[in-house]
Amino acid sequence: MHQFLLYSSFILAFTSFFMCLYACARLGNFINSTKGLDWDAIANITGDLATVKKTIQTLNNRMNGMNSPKVNEQELMMQLLQAQNKGVPNGKTHMQGG
């Protein structure tokens, strides 16, 4: 039983050591890849990403039919009723008997 605990602790220690080395290597690669960036470049990238995200959302909404024109139907009906009450023609031609 003692040998099992000893070997399992060695295996766990070596595994954690190699995982630590892997994490350090990835962090070093990240630092090297972002070394040339300044704050203005990061701000520009952030703004570009926000613009692309908004464009994609708008396109998806159009494709799903969720981005329909926002016309207030009650206001449109009120304008139509007011135009009919005033006798303003609404674009239709009426033929008078004659």
**What does the domain layout of the chain look like in residue ranges?**
11-37
pLDDT on residue 31: 92
pLDDT on residue 87: 65
pLDDT on residue 58: 87
pLDDT on residue 39: 85
pLDDT on residue 38: 84
| CA nearest to 27, candidates 19, 15, 36 | 19
pLDDT on residue 98: 46
pLDDT along the chain (98 residues), means of 10: 91 97 96 86 89 90 68 75 71 53
Element (H, E) at 39: helix 39-64
Distance CA 29, CA 35 (A): 10
pLDDT on residue 90: 53
